[in-house]
Structure formats: structure tokens, C-alpha cells
Structure 1
Amino acid sequence: MATQEVDKKMEEEIKDAFPMADNVDWNEVYQRIIYRYSTPHGLQHVKEELYKLEDKGEIIVHHIKPYNDPVKMQTLNGTPKVIPTTKLWQHKSCGQCGHIPGYPTSVFWMMNKMEIDYMDEPHQTSCTGWNYHASGASNPVALAGVYVRNMWRAYEIDYFPLIHCGTSFGHYKEIRNMLVLHKEIRDKLRPIMRKMDMDIVIPEEVVHYSEWLYTMSKKAAQQRKYDLSNIRAAVHTPCHVYKLVPEDTIYDPEVFQGRRPAAPSGTAQNFGAKLVDYSTWWDCCGFGFRHILTEREFSRSFALFKKVIPAVEEGKADIFVTSDTGCVTTLDKSQWAGKAHGFNYNLPVLADAQFAAIAMGADPYVIAQVHWHATDVEGFMRKIGVNVDDYKEKFIQYLADLREGKAEPEYLYKPHRKIDFYLSVPERVKWYKGDKTQSSNQAK
């Protein structure tokens, strides 16, 4: 085939990959498009095989239902991705809950504000992403088993899974593809799951919370309490969100002309902030799993010199917005290391959920929990009009009252919300309902 014909064919295919974007600099996005041709199995092929396996009875597909209020969004190659917006099963993040507790509480707080039905799962396990990305200590069947076991939990109570952690999101997409495309993995996994009275369940879509938040951001911004129009927001999109199975991440021509993932940039934009660009937007935050464990000083210096300094010097950013545990932790908690060497940068770093919740009027200490951050977030909050001193005084008094027994803890929902309903579903937990006969038989 002549070179001219090849170029023309490539140009047509690239245009097909972005059906919603009319005015795009294709040279700039070519490196993103190249992913489409670097894998022998495109996402569309994987989904076709998924439904074939369902028809054969080899797997169970957890479908998105009309009562999930689904919204269709676009992906990198133009294939629609369905985002469920309510009746959501929360797959929380180890690092968020352990290091940035204001991250998941901000998600739940916003869901409460928007009257979203959700389940904060009490029996979720880790996705084992640490094993996979940091040490390589696991194996395909074990990784698939953890994935399917978590997905079964969501399936049996009919709440659709929403993945909080960017690494879990990318990791689960890869496992989904592996399960669909490799029969030998399914054959080894199935007897293991059936010993636990489970089966192989694969959700129709793998959805990251930041995709849900972007899909809901215009509605959420209607409840915005503070004006963010004078805020310059630099965004770091987590590598594991859009570089692992990249064609399964949502894009929107309203966000950087469809040249970068819609979330979290579009969320900051829809809340009224001005998006600013910087030359190293594509680079990792420095976390990367393995090097945060083995080369921590490299991670800290990379975060400062390759991300924070360009965002400040080039973008004149007031805030760094991102959407993954490792990214918030690394970009936020690496800046103090630079101060020891005279690099006195203080660029506050927030997850998009914290950023949006604060803008909607969430308590910055009780809900967003900015006191867990190493950078000073108060300057940003004062700039948008948050009465920081008042919130801080009330928070300190609340803590004192808790210590002295003068106050009860505040909850985003009743403790163990819906757990009675949850536990009444599987046969293996009849003891919870007081089935003494079964308990006594098991004891024998």
C-alpha cells in the first residue's frame, strides 16, 4: 500500500477515535492514540467476548440497570462508556482510608448532599494492587480471585461497584480483560469461587469514582457555596487511571478539547476554577508503587521538580487537583522534603472530591480533613471565602468534647448502614439472624 494511502487511512482512523471532538490538534494527541494500536485486544473486542461468555453461561455479568440512572460518556476511541450515578457499592482505597481520610468522607458527603443511594461496604478487601505493582508476589488466579470476590459482594446486593483507588481501577480493568480473554484462568478460578458459594462475576463497566464525580459535577456545582473563578487549578491525572487500559477512560471535548481525560480536570472546570497547563502534565507524580518503596528520595525529588515546581512556575497554580491516593500523598507530602534544601514551595494538594466538597460548603476539618495534609490548604480556602478560623475553632472544641465525653461522634450515615439487609442475603451467614440450629450443627 502506498505511503499516501497509509497516511490517509491512519488519518481516518484517528478521526474515528474522537467522534465528539471537531477541533483537535491531531499531532499533539498522536501519542495517546498510539495506545489503540499497541494492544491486540481492543476494549470493544473484550466487551463483545464478555457478552458471549455470559450467553454461554460461563460468567455472570453485573449489568447496569435503569435504576442506576446511567449516563453515557465517551472514551478515548469513541466507544460509549456507561456511568451509573446512583445505587453504588463503594470500593474504598487502602491509602485513602489510612492516609487521607478526608478523601472518602468527601465522596460520601457529596453523595448525601445529592441524595445518592450508596453502600459503604463493610466486608471489602484490598485489591492486592500492592502485590501486583510493587512486588510481583501474586499470580493471575489469585489476583482474579480477589477481584471477583469483591465484585460478587456488590452483585449479591445489587449495588453497582464504584472504585475509589486509581490503582484498583486500572488493575481491575486489566484483570477483567484477562478473565474474559483467557479461559485457563476462568477454569482455575471457578472451582475456588464455588467453594465459597460464589461464581465468576464481572461488572459491565469498571468505573472510577472520579468518572462518576465528573459525570455529576455540573449538578453538584449547582450547590456550590464559594466562588472559585479566581482560582488557578493545575491538574494531575493519575497514571493508573488513564494509562492502564487507556481506552476505558472517559474523555470529553469540553475538557482540553478531548485531548486529556475528562476527570478530574473537567470537575475543577465545572466548579468554576480556571484550568492552567504545565509542561510535565503527562509525567508520573513520583509515587509509582515500586519506587516509593525502594527509592523514596527519588519519588520526593521527582514530585517536587517534575510536578510541583512546573505547576507553580509555569501555571502559577493556586491548587493542585488530582484523583488518586498515591498522587495526593506524594504531591502533598513530598513538599516538606524540598524545604530542607531551600525549596520553599507550598502548593496545596487536594483530591477532586475534597476540592468539590469544600466548594459545596463541607466542613474542611470534619469532612475534608485538611489537617491531615502536609501542605497548607488554609491559604486556598481563605482565597475562596471559607471562614477558616471559625471552622477550626469549632473543630478543636468538637475534639475536646469527644475526649471528655461531652459529645457523640458525628456520622455520615448510621453505623453499619444496610448491613442487616446485606447479611441476610447469603446462606453462609444465617447465624447472624439467630439460626441456632445451623450454628450448633457447625459446632459439632
Structure 2
Amino acid sequence: MSQERKIEEELKDAFPYSDQVNWEEVYQRVIYRYSTPHGVQHVKEELHRLEDRGELIVHHIRPYNQPTEYQTINGEPKKIPTTKLWHHKSCGQCGHIPGYPTSVFWIMNKLETDYVDEPHQTSCTGWNYHASGASNPVALAGVFARNFWRSYEIDYFPLIHCGTSFGHYKEIRNMLVLHKEVREKLRPIMRKLDMDIVVPEEIVHYSEWMFVKSKEAARQRKYDLSSIKAAVHTPCHVYKLVPDDTIYDPSVFQGRRPAAPTGTVINMGAKIVDYSTWWDCCGFGFRHILTEREFTRSFALFKKVIPAVEEGHADVFVTSDTGCVTTLDKSQWAGKAHGLNYNLPVLADAQFVALAMGADPYTIGQIHWHATDVEGFLRKVGVPVDEYKEKFNQYLQDLKEGKADPNYLYRPHRKIDYYLALPDRVKWLKGGKQEGSS
């Protein structure tokens, strides 16, 4: 038997093809109605009781945040603010997938969304918690409160980019609300910083905002995606950590899976394809990406990429977290070294939407940071890749020779006074000017 035939037979044994899959059995692997031990609704009610007693500050979503309500898995409403947003960025996105946050900002510019790209945000320290267990509850709560105090004092509601930060902060919120001893140890620390314990009314992931705004974004779509088959991976830390605080929609797999990013891809006009291992982790998993990297690479390929291609015949893999994009994209070279050249392009939902809206695939989407062939996918939907590439290379050369200034998504330091102001000296700025000034 030839080597290629042997590999094909082994794959058939390992992964059932779509015509052999019992999809009901697959769906039954998930318990659809589940919650935290105390339930998020109970936590939110207790949060407001603590506010009434003066034990903490709640950063409320206001009418000027133009919120939209969606149901969570247990039927309770969750408010998603759509403007006047404070970006809690992701360490991994900024360091490994820079086209991810730039796509978010670019889309917000196109949709005329008011936002702050906060320069004084810190890491959520989720790496300490999930990868090494090196932190402690009060320290984790301190980082939570310090970041959210910053968004509270300038009155922009926080939007979390990283899926791990999102799940991690939901757990910390529950801990702060349900455990008085943590609040009592944290409060004197925050007071030394001239701050207090602030808890947002909702913990919101950017992909939830992206889903809410995706129909509006689709009205500015430049390329037809109707021929595209997209497989979706929903990040574990988004909907498996405090799972009853993620939004669902009946239009997305009959409400059996989170609304984002699947609903975003649907609203942009692509066809969703299913695959049997949709529930599984991407392989990243935090600790084993550090200690068992080859396990991560093989898991990403055999448990995610291959089923998406062999069962769903996907043209693209769309997901909505730092680790997931990195793992699914940058693990495929390991399979290629063993003759498994699947080369399935992997994009964040924000990149997928921005590119469909006509964003520059290099200066905004920054697809040159990806290991898989995103260019081939873009050519399939009609993007003039070669023109963009020539323009990008010329831009880089002009920068190198001092013939051009860098392009910015927003005017540099346009709100520097706003950023640095103390709470009692905050100047409300609009368009770089104080309100009422000419």
C-alpha cells in the first residue's frame, strides 16, 4: 500500500466522514442548560445589593452606550453596549496576530463607533492563573479592579478582546461578589491607589459586539462570500467558563451554540459547515502549549483542522480568540512536514469581517503574519491581492527611506490629556476639543 493510501485509510479510521456521523449523538455530548453553582442571575442580583450597601461600585451600561439585549443560554437577558467603548486588548493578539486588533478598530471606525484604545491597560494575568497557578485570588481581583476602575473613571464601557480574559474576568466577578473576605482584603489595596472596587454591570467579549453589529457591517460588504464554506471554532474560554453568561440566538444552530462568531459569519453571507469535533478545544489549552507543545500541534491538526476539511469541506476556519487563531493557524506546518498539507486558512471573526468590507489585507488584516495561505482564500472571493501586496511593499520601502509617514487608525495621542487626567480633572473631549469650545 502506498504511503498516501495508508495515510488516507488511517484518517478514515480516526475521523468519520460527514455521511457517517450521527449528529444527534454529537449534539448530546453537550449539556445545554447548565450554569455556575450560584447562577449568573443570582450573582448579578447580589452585585446590585452590594452596590446599594456601598461595598463596591457598579459601572453601569447607560443609554448613551446604545445597548442591545440578547438572551443567554438560560434565557436571561444580557446587555451588549455598542458604542462609547474601552478596549481591553489581548497580549497574544498584539504580539502574535496584530491584524486581529487592528481589524476591530478599523471596523469600529467604519461603523462610526466611539471608543478608547487605552494605553494604560495591563494584562489580565490569565497566563499566571491558567498556565502556572502562580497567582492568588486577591492579586487577580486587584488586576480586575484596577483595569475596570480605569474604564469607569473615563466613563467608557469595557470591551474584552481576549477570550481568556473574558472568561477569567467573569470568574473573578463571581468571586468578588460571592466572597466577602476577598473584597475585604482587596479594598485597602485599592484605596492606597486612590481607587475603589469597580465591577462592570456586564462582562462583554468583543465577539458579542461583533455579532450585534455584523448586519450593519454586512451592509458595507465589498466582496461576495456566498460561495465560501466556513467552519467555526467557538473558543472554550469564551463559552465554557461561566457558560451561562454568553449570548445565544435562535438563528445560530437553533440556539444550541453561542451566537458569536457563528452568527457573525452567517450575517456576512458565508455558508456555515459543521464538523463532528466542533465542541473540542483548539489544542492550545494554556498549560500544554507550554509543556506538551507537540500534543497541541497534533491535536489542532487531527481534532480540528482535518475534520473541518474532510467533513465540512471548509474554505476557511473562523474563530474569536487569540490562542485559537494562533494554534489553528500556526500548527498546520507540523502536519505539512509529515505529508499532511491541509493548509486551511484561519482568521479571527474581526479579520473575516474587515476583509469582506474591503480592508487592506496587509496594513489592516496583516495576513503576512499568518502561517497558512490566506492569500488564496482572498483571491477566491475576488480581492486583488497582488495590487495590495505591491502597494504594501512600496509603503514599507517609503517608510524605510523616510519618504512616508506611518498610517494610523486614529490620530496619535488625540486623547492623551484624557488618558492621563486624574478623576477630579477629567476633561470630556470630543474631536480633540473640550465640549463647548469653538
Q: TM-score, normalised by structure 2?
A: 0.90
Q: Residue 344 of structure 1 aligns to a residue in which SS?
A: coil
- Is the partner of 1:356 in helix, strand or coil? helix
**2:418/2:426 contact within 8 Å kept:** no
Name the counterpart of 1:67.
64
Matched-pair contact (CA < 8 Å) for 1:29–1:259: no
Q: Write out per-residue CA displacement over residues 284-335 of structure 1, whole angstroms, 9 at most, x where no aligned residue.
A: 0000000000000000000000000000000000000000000000000000
Q: Does 1:196 align with 2:187?
A: no
Query: Which runs of 5 or more residues in structure 2 are unaligned?
Result: 1-23, 428-438
Shift of 1:27: 9.8
Quote the Cα distance in structure 2 between the aligned partners of 1:412 and 1:398.
Answer: 16
* Alpha-carbon offset, residue 184 of structure 1: 0.2
After superposition, where does 1:95-114 map in structure 2 within 5 Å?
A: 95-114=92-111
- Looking at structure 1, the residues matched to 275 and 346 of structure 2 have their Cα atoms a distance apart, in angstroms, of 16
The aligned amino acid for 2:313 is K
Instruction: State the superposition RMSD in angstroms.
Output: 1.7
Aligned partner of residue 74 in structure 1, secondary structure: strand
Looking at structure 2, the residues matched to 41 and 395 of structure 1 have their Cα atoms a distance apart, in angstroms, of 52
Partners of 2:71 and 2:380 in 1: CA distance: 34
Give yes or no for contact 1:95–1:326 (8 Å, CA) kept in 2. yes
Q: Quick check: 1:32 aligned with 2:46?
A: no
2:314 aligns to what?
A: 317
Q: C-alpha separation between the residues in 1 aligned to 2:270 and 2:129?
A: 36
Q: What SS class does the counterpart of residue 402 from structure 2 fall into?
A: coil
Partner of 1:21: none
State the shift of 1:421 in Å: 1.7
Cα displacement string for residues 33-67 of structure 1 (whole angstroms, at most 9, x for unaligned residues): 3523xx42001100010000000000000000000
Distance across 1 between alignment mates of 2:302 and 2:162:
25
Quote the residue 2:352 is aligned against: 355
Select between 175-184 and 410-419 the one with higher mean Cα deviation. Answer: 410-419
Change in Cα spacing, 1:35 to 1:67, as seen in structure 2 (3 Å) is same
Q: Deviations over 1:246-294 (max 9, x none)?
A: 0000000011110100000000000000000000000000000000000
**Percent identity, aligned pairs only?**
81
Partner Cα distance (1:187, 1:132) in 2? 21
The residue identity in structure 2 corresponding to 1:277 is D
The alpha-carbon deviation at position 425 of structure 1 amounts to 3.1
1:87-102 to 2 correspondence within 5 Å?
87-102=84-99
- The answer to whether residue 323 in structure 2 is matched with residue 326 in structure 1 is yes
Q: How many residues align?
A: 405
| Partner AA of 1:269 in structure 2 | I
C-alpha deviation, 1:151, in angstroms: 0.3
2:80 alignment partner in structure 1 = 83
Partner-residue secondary structure (3-state), 1:213: helix
* Deviation of the 1:29 alpha carbon: 5.7
Q: 1:237 aligns with which of 234, 239, 252?
A: 234
> Partner residue of 1:17?
none
- TM-score norm. by structure 1 comes to 0.89
**Quick one: structure 1 residues 139 and 389, their matched pair in 2 at CA, closer, same or farther if it must change by over 3 Å?**
same
Given that residues 33 and 73 in structure 2 are in contact (C-alpha distance below 8 angstroms), is that contact kept between their aligned partners in structure 1? no
Letter in structure 2 aligned against 1:33: Y
Q: Does 1:183 find its partner at 2:180?
A: yes
1:256 aligns with 2:248: no
> Which residue of 168, 171, 179 maps to 2:168?
171
**Equivalent-residue separation in structure 2 for 1:321 and 1:239 (angstroms):** 14
**Does the Cα contact within 8 Å between 1:119 and 1:417 map onto a contact in 2?**
no
Structure 1 residues without counterparts, runs of 5 or longer: 1-24, 431-444
Opposite residue 375 of structure 1, the aligned amino acid is T
Determine the C-alpha separation between the residues in 1 that align with 2:335 and 2:414. Answer: 43
1:35 is paired with a residue of what secondary structure? coil
- The question of 1:42 aligning with 2:32 is answered no
Q: Which residue matches 1:375?
A: 372
